[in-house]
Amino acid sequence: MTTNERVRVTVGADGVAEVRLNRPDKMNALDAAMFTGIVAAGEQVARDPRVRAVVLCGEGRAFCAGLDMGRFGNMAEGKSSTGNAADPIDRLTARSHGISNAAQQVAMVWREVPVPVIAAVHGVSFGGGFQLALGADIRFVTADLKMSVMEIKWGLVPDMAGIALMRELARNDVVRELTYSGRIFSGEEALQLGFATRVCADPYAEAMAFAREVAGRNPDAIRADKRLLNAAMAEDAAALLMAESVEQTKLIGSPNQVEAVKAQLEKRAPNFSDPVAG
């Protein structure tokens, strides 16, 4: 078992690893320590030959509420998300993890884990938390779960591999509607749209049961399955992940993005300037 302040990792005798987000007082919101902890947890279970399957879950009332609100306070002042040069969100175009930057790796690391990853999702899964869930192979959710591609409400784009991952799961027009609107949708609707695998009363219990079933299969065949399934989706992933980073870099700190953040924090309608043509 490995424990840090933000993410707990436990590997059972059955070969099932549990990765639990552990910031319940903030609904497991993503701060710099959480970014680092999630990636480290993924890398840890990927290296462990005992691990046959992984369950990714959140402590407390929610799976993950998305980016920590403190970051948006900095953005409202026209600053970078934290002003900290070591913060992964401030190094968007650097490819620190293969084809991903450090923020994208929070979701993409679960694709690199060589065994199936099952996300047990409850409460809320907003923005970065939604993209984190999409990084898993499978998502078991509650019917009353609230999900959202929340970034547009802050004047941003989903840049934690969200576009690359959403396109695998839902129709193009559905991805566009949710990305353009930022509306909240339920676990039941997520199942209909393709973002949830199964709706259940207790996603954690069902995820653990499924993980144990997978752990009982030939581990070589399971790993081969995942390699094949990943390869089928990987053709232009690198270019798309870089495009996310480039677009987000242009947006962060721009006048209309700062206005979007201020309007959200002040609970008023935004007053946007007309975009420059081109």
Q: What is the pLDDT of residues 18-37, one digit of tens each?
A: 999 999 999 999 999 999 99
- 167, part of any domain: yes
- For 129-156, what is each residue's pLDDT tens digit? 999 999 999 999 999 999 999 999 999 9
Please report, for residues 120, 255, 265, the alpha-carbon distance to residue 205 in angstroms, rounded to integers and kept in the order given.
8, 46, 37
Q: What is the pTM of this model?
A: 0.85
Count of structural domains within the chain: 1
- 214, part of any domain: no
| Strand arrangement of the beta sheet that strand 124-126 belongs to | 124-126, 146-148, 184-186
Stretches where the chain sits below pLDDT 70 are 1-3, 70-90, 95-96, 99, 234-235, 277-278
Tell me the residue range of the domain where 259 lies: 2-202+219-266
pLDDT at residue number 1:
62
- For 93-118, what is each residue's pLDDT tens digit? 776 677 678 888 999 899 999 999 99
- 38, part of any domain: yes
Where would I find the H helices in the chain?
32-47, 69-76, 105-112, 128-134, 162-169, 172-181, 187-193, 203-215, 219-233, 237-251, 255-266
Cβ atoms 215, 209 nearer than 8 A: no
- 116, part of any domain: yes
Please report, for residues 117, 155, 210, 217, the alpha-carbon distance to residue 34 in angstroms, rounded to integers and kept in the order given.
19, 23, 26, 32
Token match 């970014």: residue? 35
